Chain A
C-alpha cells in the first residue's frame, strides 16, 4: 500500500461558532477512490474544506501531500470542486476552464472531452442546465492534472448514465496515480469506491472497503448497511 496522501488526527473544526467535526482521525492514499459518505449536515463539506485549506479554526493534525494544508505547494497540486457549481455565469464553458488553467499555470488539455462538454464549449454557463454546470465546475477542478482531487458531491443532480461515466472517470484518474476524495449522500454510490469514510454528526463512524461494509453488516443494500452500522455503534 502506498503512503497516505492525506492524514489527519484529532481534527476538530469550528464553523460559525459551532463545532462541526469532533476529534476525527483518518487517512487516504493516492491511486484509489475514497468515498466520503454521510447524511446532510454530517460534516462532509467541512472536512473537505479543511483539507483544501480554505477552512479557518482547524485544530489537530492535518497533513496534505506531506505539507500543511493551504501551502502553495499543495495548492498547485490540488483540484477542488465545491458543492454548488462555483463557475462564472457570464463566461463561456471554454473561458471558465481557461481561467482556472491560467490560475494553476497549467494547460487546457482534453478536460472538456473528459466531462463531455465539447459541444457546449462556446455556450455561456448562465444558459446551461444544472447538470452541465456541475460538469463545468468539475472540468475547472480537473484542469492541469492535479495530484489531489477533492470533489464535494460531484454527481448530485446528474442522470444515472452520466453518474456511472463520472465514477468511471474517477476510477481512471485514480489508476493514473491521483488521490481522490469524493463525497456523496447517496450511499448506493459507495460501490464505486475503493474505500469509504462514513461520517455521522461530526464523527467518523467507520473507514472500510464496500466489501468489508457488506460483510460486517450482513447486507448488500448499502443504505441498509449504513443504518445497521449506526445501530451497532
Chain B
C-alpha cells in the first residue's frame, strides 16, 4: 500500500515538474520579443557611454572641468541620477548607464510580471492550466523562473556592452548587477499589482504609478541637498547606492533582495487563496446607469479612454511643473566655451540656461506625447480584437467615420495634454521667479504635436495595413526613432541618417524657435499616412488576435 501510494505520488510529482517546465518555457517564448528588445537596448547603452566619454574627454583636465560644472547640474541629475565620480570612465558610465537603464529594468520587471501573471488569467488560459495537474504554486514559480531567465539575459547584455566599451570585467559585472537589481523588485510590484487589480490594465496602471513614484523620489533625493536620505526608500536609489566603480557597497544588495522576497511572497500567498479571474480590489458589481457619452462610437471611445487620458494628463502635468521649478537652478556660470561645445555633442547642449533646460526636457514630452498618440491607436485595435468592431461596422457606422473619429479624438487629447504641459512648466518656472513668457511656453507645448501627429498617422497606417502587428510596430518605431536621436550621432552615423528620425527636427522651444517648416512637413506626413490608412482600412478584413 505504502509503496503504491509513494509510486503514485512520485509519478504525479514528475508530471507536475514537466508541467511546470512547460509553463516556464511557454512564458519565455511569449516574452522573447520584448526581452530581446530590452537586451539590445541594455547592450547598446552600456557600450556607447564609456566609448563616447573617452572620446569627448580624453585628458584629466577635460574631465575635471566637466565634473566641476556638469555633474551638479540639476537638470542632468534629474534624468541620470547622482554622480559620484566623473573623472574615470567607470564612474561616468556607472552614472550615465546605471542611472537610466535601471528605470528600464524596473519597467521590464513590471511588464514581465503583469504579462505572465495577469494577462494569462484575463484571457482565461490560466484557468485551463490550473485545471490540470499543475498547482497554483508551481504555475507561479514557473512564471517567476521564466522572468528570471529574461533578467539574466539583460544582465549578460549590459555586461557584454560595457566590457566591449572598454570597462574592466569585474566592475562591468557589478554595474550590470546594480542595474538588473531593480528587475526582481518590480517583478514583485507587478506580481502584487496583478493580485490586487481585477484586470491587466488596472494592474499595469498600479505598477506604472509605483515606478513613477520611485522615480520622483530619486529625483527629489538627487536634486535636493537635505532630502538625500530618500534615496534609501526607492529601489532606483538603491541601484545608485550600490556605487559601481565608485567604492562599491555590495551589502546594499540586501535591500532589493529583501524587498523582492517580501513582495513576491505576499503576491504568492494572495495568489494561492484568491479566486481565479478576480482581484483583491473588488470590481464593482453593478452601477447606476450613466448614459452620457454613449451617443456615438467616438463618444464611447472618449468614455472608455477617459481614465487613461486623465492619468496621462496628471503625469505630464506634474512632471512639466517640476521641470519648470527646477529650471530656476540651472546656470552656465563656470562653463567654458570649449566644454559647452562638447556638451552639444552629447545631445544635452543647451541645458545651461533655464529656457534651454526646459527646451531640452520637452524633448522627453515629445516622446511621451508620441507614445500617448500611439496608445490610442492600440486602443482602437483592441476594439477590433474583442470583435466589438465587427458588430459596430454591421450597423450604420461607416469604417472611415469610426477610424477618423478615433484619430481625431487622439489628436485633440494629445493637443490638450501637450498645451497643458507647456502651461504648467510656465507656472512652475514663474513660481520660482524665472522670467518666461507664457505664449512661448504654449509654443513649447505645441512643439510636441508635429512628431506626435506623425506617429499617430504612422500607427494608423500600420493598423490599416498589418492590423495584427499594429501595437508592436507603432510603439517600436517611436522608441527606435527616439533612441536614434539620442545615440545616432554618438555612433558616428552620417548626418542624413541621423536626420531620418522625426525627433531630429524638433527645436528646443523655448530656447530655440519653433521650426514651422519642419512642423508642417511632419504634420503633412502624418495626415497623409492617416488618409492612406483609412483607404486601406475600408477594404481590409477584420482580424482577431
A residues near B (Cβ < 8 Å) are 15-16, 49, 52-57, 72, 75-76, 78, 80-84, 86-88, 90-92, 94-95, 98-100, 102-105, 121-124, 126-127, 137, 140-141, 150
Q: Give the B interface residue count (CB, 8 A).
A: 33
In the bound complex, do residue A75 and residue B285 qualify as a contact, i.e. CB atoms below 8 Å apart? no
Binds A, one of B87-95, B132-140, B144-152, B293-301: B293-301
Q: Are A95 and B390 in contact (CB under 8 A)?
A: no
Residues on the A chain within 8 Å of B539, using CB: 56
Q: How far is B230's CA from A21's CA once the two chains are assembled, in angstroms?
A: 66
The closest CB in chain A to the CB of B540 belongs to A56
Question: A86 contacts B289, CB within 8 Å?
Answer: no
Chain B residues near A54 (CB-CB < 8 A): 390, 393-394, 542
What are 5 pairs between A and B in contact, CB < 8 Å?
Answer: A53-B393, A53-B394, A75-B395, A92-B286, A127-B283
Contact partner, A102, options B294, B394, B540, Cβ 8 Å: B294
What mask results when residues 449 to 474 of chain B are scored 1 for a CB within 8 Å of chain A, else 0? 00000000000000000000000000
Judge whether B290 is part of the interface by a CB distance below 8 angstroms: yes
- What residues on A are CB-neighbors of B392 within 8 Å? 103
Known pairs A55-B541, A122-B288; A80 contacts B391 (CB<8 A): yes
- Least Cβ distance of A218 to chain B in Å? 40
Secondary structure at the A interface, as helix, strand, loop or mixed, is mixed
Contact present for A104 and B395 (CB under 8 Å): yes
Residues on A with C-beta less than 8 A from B396 are 72, 75-76, 103-105
Shortest CB–CB separation between residue A79 and chain B, in angstroms?
9
**Nearest 3 A/B pairs, CB to CB:** A80-B394, A52-B394, A86-B387
A12 and B273 alpha carbons, distance in the complex (Å): 53
**Residues of the B chain whose Cβ atoms lie less than 8 Å from the Cβ of A76:** 396
What's the least CB distance linking B401 to chain A, in Å? Answer: 11
Complex contact B391–A86 (CB within 8 A): yes
A49 cross-chain contacts in B, Cβ below 8 A: 390
B287 on the A face (CB < 8 A): yes
B280-314 near A? 1/0 per residue, CB < 8 Å: 00011111111100111100100010000000000
A100 to B295, CA, bound (A): 9
Q: Report how far A53 CA is from B297 CA in the complex, Å.
A: 18
A196: min CB distance to chain B, Å = 23
Per a CB cutoff under 8 Å, which of A88, A127, A150 touches B388? A88
A residues near B288, Cβ cutoff 8 Å: 122
- Which residues of the other chain, B, contact A127 by a CB distance below 8 angstroms? 283, 285-286
B304-A88 in contact (CB<8A): yes
Tell me if B388 and A103 are in contact (CB < 8 A). no
Q: Are A102 and B541 in contact (CB under 8 A)?
A: no
Q: Given the complex, which residues of A lie within 8 Å of B393, measured CB to CB?
A: 53-54
- B386 interface hit (Cβ, 8 Å): yes
Write out the residue numbers on chain A whose beta carbons fall within 8 Å of the beta carbon of B287: 92, 122, 124
- Interfacial residues of chain B within 366-398, with CB under 8 A of chain A in the complex: 386-388, 390-398
Q: Report how far A122 CA is from B297 CA in the complex, Å.
A: 21
A117 vs B304: C-alpha distance when bound (angstroms): 24
In the complex, the chain B residue whose C-beta lies closest to that of A150 is B394
Which residues in window 225-267 of B have CB below 8 A to A? none
In the complex, what residues of B have CB within 8 A of residue A137's CB? 391
Known: A124-B287, A127-B285, A150-B394. 20 other contacts (CB 8 A): A15-B541, A16-B541, A55-B541, A72-B398, A82-B390, A83-B387, A84-B387, A86-B388, A87-B388, A88-B304, A95-B291, A99-B300, A102-B294, A102-B296, A103-B297, A103-B397, A122-B286, A123-B286, A124-B283, A126-B198
Nearest CB of chain B from residue A149's CB, rounded to whole Å: 11
Shortest CB-to-CB span from A9 to chain B, Å, is 22
A39 to B445 alpha-carbon distance, docked (Å): 58
Note all chain A residues with C-beta closer than 8 A to B289: 92, 94-95, 98, 121-122
Type the 1/0 row for B423-458, where 1 means its CB is closer than 8 Å to any CB of A: 000000000000000000000000000000000000
The docked-state distance in angstroms from the alpha carbon of A1 to that of B233 is 80
Question: Nearest-CB distance from B395 to chain A (Å)?
Answer: 5
* A72, closest chain B residue (CB): B396
Contacts of A80 in B (CB 8 A): 390-391, 394-395
Which of B304, B394, B396, B543 has the most chain A CB within a 10 Å cutoff? Answer: B394
